[in-house]
Chain A
Amino acid sequence: MNLKKTIGSWITDRFDVEKIREPINYQLKKPLPPHTGWFHTLGSLSLFLFISQVLTGILLLIYYRPTIREAFESVQFIMTKPYLGWLYRQVHAWGGQLMIIIVFLHMLRTFITGSFKKPREITWISGVILFLTTLGFGFTGYLLPWNQLAYWATTVGTEIPAAIPWVGDWLKTFLRGGPNVGGETLSRFFVIHVIILPWAVFFLIAMHLFLVRFQGIATLDPVGEEKDIGKKGIPFFPHHLLKEGVVFFILLGVLVTLAIVFPFELGEKADPMQTPHAIKPEWYFLPMYQVLKFAEKMWGLLIISLAPLFLFLWPFLDKSRPRNPLKRPLSMTFFVLVLLSLLIFGLMGYFSEKNVKIFNTDYHIDIYGMPHKILPNATTEPTHEK
């Protein structure tokens, strides 16, 4: 106790603590609107996951080596030799997957509760950028173990921007650092994954959080008619923080459980000479991948680049005042349609080039996601007939 006091007075001697305490206390005790519930923990969950990714990422970096000669071997080494190395790798891999889900859900929540509306447009835009950088993390991180799946998914993935007129080829070469996916691609992706994106995300999060705290959590009141929360509000500290504690522990448990029960296999080392059958990108890119198959490459590219554009511009397109989802039928219909199309295209992408059994009949799902009955005697793949 005495020590605590000494340290305390040592600090108060040098800093005007009282002056800082005031705004800190204000921020901590600032009441949140009464509808602030479990869904409002998604933002902090994203933050937890980001911190977890940074910490496990640092641990992995200790032994990881970003060269085509050693990347695969060093990941194998991490998974076998150092204490709990396997756990850190699995938690990092699963953390990435969960982060994409949770950031996406966080965005959905913001959309449904109309929180993106005036005056919080900038918060929304920074959030959209954060979502896109999260996808960027997924895309660049996927290549780093340098296994077959990663190598070929990246080969296909970096082929996409090549469809852009005029600059496409240059962009592809720029991304890959050469004509093919190789050592230079690995270096580039490594730098993006461990230096550029983390710092970008760090500052974006700082800005995002500042805006959230500065402007306060949105109520469900229509734009311009916000009432004072007053006594009904829930203090951020300690009330809401306790809720976050609950989800934090559950998230921790889920992460470790996933890492143990459904570990990611490392598979085979990348072999540029051997293309595996039906290469697909990670699940979160599947809807985009499927759309690209249908449309002429450039048109498809246009369509899929409209999606982020729409996300950015949404607060300026939808200037209606109500926030309550029940009073925004048009927005909600549009929203459900977008979700459904993502789901359908994603599923089509997932099942394409696979054989499935539906009601005792075998079907071959072609590259476009269309099922074809497999005839019992057919030796070759069924031809296109509609």
Chain B
Amino acid sequence: MNNPNRPDQPNQPNQKTRRDFLTLLIQGGLFMTFISMVLPAVAYLLPITRRGPTSGLEEVGKEEDFPLWGHKKVEVNGSPVLVIRTPKEIKAFSAICTHLGCVVGWDSAKKLIACPCHAGFFNLEGNVVSGPPPKPLPIYEVVASDGKVFVKF
């Protein structure tokens, strides 16, 4: 802004301090405006704890997290998914029971997917083995690559 060394009218010292205050205010205000724009933008860029949207693949863990018959409930694209390691492959099922929408789990004794609410059982094809569920569980595609397990959605 103004050159601070610029000679002002010497007989108005009062005015000078006021003007300097004004200049300071404007300079400070502009600086604050700048800072208050930059800092939030930096905060916006900071890595976010929860991962951003992904390209139809969600990493659900490493392969060693899934020993034989190992299983894990994960959230994929906002809905619960049950991932199970069978002797042949790793499989992923929608964990929402087709009966009343309870969240299903893995029954390791029966080697079946079990719904805790009304004893609905599904096999590893997602088909209903017994109980009230009217439809099979939807199956998600699983991709294992580089030791990591991904679920496609």
| Chain A in direct contact with chain B (Cβ < 8 angstroms) | yes
Given B26, B41, B48, which contacts A81 in the complex, CB threshold below 8 Å? B48
Inter-chain contact B52/A63, CB cutoff 8 Å: yes
Inter-chain contact A83/B43, CB cutoff 8 Å: yes
Inter-chain contact A83/B46, CB cutoff 8 Å: yes
Inter-chain contact B50/A81, CB cutoff 8 Å: yes
Tally of A-B residue pairs with Cβ under 8 A? 43
Count of interface residues, chain A, beta-carbon cutoff 8 Å: 22
Q: Identify which of residues 36-93 in chain A touch chain B, using a CB-to-CB cut-off of 8 Å.
A: 55, 59, 62-63, 65, 67, 69-70, 73-74, 77, 81-85, 87-88
**Chain B residues positioned under 8 Å from A77 (CB to CB):** 52-53
Count of interface residues, chain B, beta-carbon cutoff 8 Å: 16
**Chain A residues positioned under 8 Å from B50 (CB to CB):** 81
User: B40 on the interface (CB 8 Å rule)?
Assistant: yes
Given B1, B48, B56, which contacts A82 in the complex, CB threshold below 8 Å? B48
Tell me if A's interface is mostly helix, strand, loop or mixed.
Answer: helix
Inter-chain contact B52/A69, CB cutoff 8 Å: no
A329-342 vs B: 1/0 string, CB under 8 Å? 00000000000000
User: A238 on the interface (CB 8 Å rule)?
Assistant: yes
Inter-chain contact B43/A84, CB cutoff 8 Å: yes
Given A55, A62, A65, which contacts B53 in the complex, CB threshold below 8 Å? A65
**Chain B residues positioned under 8 Å from A73 (CB to CB):** 53
**Chain B residues positioned under 8 Å from A87 (CB to CB):** 40
List B residues at the A interface (Cβ < 8 Å): 1-2, 26, 33, 40-41, 43-46, 48, 50, 52-53, 55-56
Instruction: Add 10 more A-B contacts to A83-B40, A87-B40, A249-B33 (CB < 8 A).
Output: A55-B41, A59-B44, A65-B55, A69-B56, A74-B52, A81-B50, A81-B52, A83-B46, A88-B44, A252-B33
24 of the cross-chain contacts (CB-CB < 8 Å) are A55-B41, A59-B41, A59-B45, A63-B52, A65-B53, A67-B55, A69-B55, A69-B56, A70-B53, A70-B55, A73-B53, A77-B53, A81-B52, A82-B46, A82-B48, A83-B43, A83-B44, A84-B40, A84-B43, A84-B44, A85-B44, A238-B1, A238-B2, A252-B33
